[in-house]
Amino acid sequence: MKRSSSLYFLKIIQHVILASVAATLFMKNRHHETKQDGMLYLGALYSGLVATLFTGFFELPTTIDRLTVFYKQKGLFFPAWAYSLPSSIVKAPVSIIEVSIWVGITYYAMGFDPDVKRLFGNFG
């Protein structure tokens, strides 16, 4: 089963849009000093977690389609990890790109740290 690269591109575009919306929703306008500011901080972290979770849902149909092949051939020649390893290797760079886009857009805009140098320290 061949995956189209345009789906990965659409997934990254979706992540950019979600990060932009979250960055404007939780825009830094004050310091984190009170409990209310802490709740905004936790809301920003939770929105990042949920956005990353929901952008990965488009891969579920392909995973379900692969289950029939896995159950047919699991006892014949290869162990189970031989079927799951290639898809994990292919999906890992896409996930790394998505998370780096999310951090790049939201880290300074949400006010996680007022120093931009630390943002670039995460990627170095």
Those residues whose C-beta lies under 8 Å from the C-beta of residue 5, and which sit 6 or more positions away, are none
Query: What DSSP designation does 114 have?
Result: S
pLDDT tens, position by position, 1-50: 455 667 778 888 888 998 999 888 888 766 667 887 788 888 888 888 88
To the question of pTM greater than 0.95 for the whole model, the response is no
Joined together, the tokens standing for residue 38 give 């802490």
Answer yes or no: are the C-beta atoms of 123 and 97 closer than 8 Å.
no
Return d(Cα 6, Cα 85) in angstroms, integer. Answer: 23
Return d(Cα 122, Cα 124) in angstroms, integer. Answer: 6
